Every structure is written in C-alpha cells, then in structure tokens.
Chain A
Amino acid sequence: MTEAIADTSFLIDWARYSRRDLLWRLFDVVHLPESVLAEIYSEGTLAWIVDGLASRRMALFTETDDVVDLARRIVSLSRALPARGVDLPEAVCLAAGLKFGYVVLTENGGAVMAPSFLNELSPVKVMRALDVLHALAQAGHIGLRDEVARYQVETGHRFAKRDLRRLGLE
C-alpha cells in the first residue's frame, strides 16, 4: 500500500485542480495531520477533504508526542538548510514520512530540499504537485504537457522554468 501525507501548501492548490482525484491513482491513502485540517478555510477544499475522509481515500493523522518531538528536532536541524528552514507543520509531515514511510506532499521549499541536505531525512520521499503530475504521466494516466498547463490555469500555481526544463517542458 502506498501512503502519503499532505501539508496545507500542497492541498490549497491541488484541491482547486479539476482532476484532483488523480491523486488516488498514485496513493491508496493520503493522511492529513489534524493541524493541517484546522488550517483549511475554503469550502471547496474542505468539501473535497470531507469526501476523501468519507471514502477513506484520506485519513486523519493525529500528531502524537513522539512525532511532534521528532518534528521539533527536524525544525532545529533544518536551520542548517541553505536559504530556508522548515516550520513545525511541514516538519510533522517529514517526521511521519520518516517514521511510517509516507510520501510527503508539500510545496514548502524547505521541506522539499530537506532530504537532500539532512542525512537523517534522506529516506523520505517528498513530492510537489509537479512531481505528482510527472509520476502520473510516467504511469500513463495523463499527458504531462497538457496537464501541467491545465494545473497552472486552474489553480493559479506557477511552476519554475528551471523545473519545467528538467522535465523537457521548456
């Protein structure tokens, strides 16, 4: 079973994507920390989450003391990252990724770069929306170029040219 955990920075744009349910092609369950759920404001995003929880595609992730302790340590370690660190909400997702093997879904730059720079987090797989779209394309579910364009139009998200070039889209 492939499981992921998502933070708010990923969900707020992904939830606006008309083909957002493609996420279930990659992950059997997406966990949502309680602290992330508490930050959701938009009715549309909340409705999608409620549907996900009801259909058991999503699951509530309750932050236990051991996860929070690990997350606090990650926050501290992340001060060594170039340019930016990680705050507690993203660190909770990274801690869950390390502890339970969940893929971490985030757009937070610090969280994305953390496994590359912090040895302790090197086993953690982090994916941004562009990485998810790329994985969906590789699995044959979508055409990458069209879907990247659709995602940007529908969500207002902008992908960096540097990333698009890496995928041969620029």
Chain B
Amino acid sequence: MEEWIQLLEEAREIRRREADWHFINSLPPKLRLALTYFVEVGDIYVASRIAGMKVGEFDELRRKAKVPMV
C-alpha cells in the first residue's frame, strides 16, 4: 500500500512542478479550481465536471496549462 501512495505522491509532484501556474491563476475561478483539482488528485473526469466540460475539452485546457497526465 505504501508503494501505491508513494507513486500517487510522485505523480502529484510532477503535475505541480510542470504546471504553468501563471496561466492557471489567470483563468476564471471555475477553470482555475478544476485545474488545481486535477494537479492535486489527477482525476480528469471529476476535474472536467468541475470545469463544466467534456473530458476531451478539459484535456485541451490541461495541455494549455502544461499539466501532464502521469
């Protein structure tokens, strides 16, 4: 179990490090919070729902924000 938790933590660190926070912080609250949720949790489905988008549409926003899938 510890190994899984460490893997999820490493993935979170990569998303935090590579994210374009200047871009994310320039967005309207709903999109900013959705991207922040994705950075922290890595769940693109829930993040897309927070943003009010389809997953594919949110994925385009995620790429603009330079947040990788890990």
A contact residues vs B (CB 8 Å cutoff): 8-9, 12-13, 38-42, 45, 82-84, 87, 89-90, 107-110, 113, 116-117, 155-163
Contacts and interface: CB of A to CB of B under 8 A. Distances in A.
B14 A158 contact: yes
Given A87-B43, A157-B68, A158-B14, A163 B7 contact: yes
Interface string B8-28: 101100100010000000000
Contacts, number: 85
Contacts of B63: 156
B68 A45 contact: no
Contacts of A110: 43
B4 to A, nearest CB: 5
Q: Taking chain B's interface residues, is the majority helix, strand, or loop, or is none over half, making it mixed?
A: helix
Interface residues of B, number: 28
A39 B48 contact: yes
Contact of B45 (A9, A116, A157, A163): A9
Contacts of A161: 10
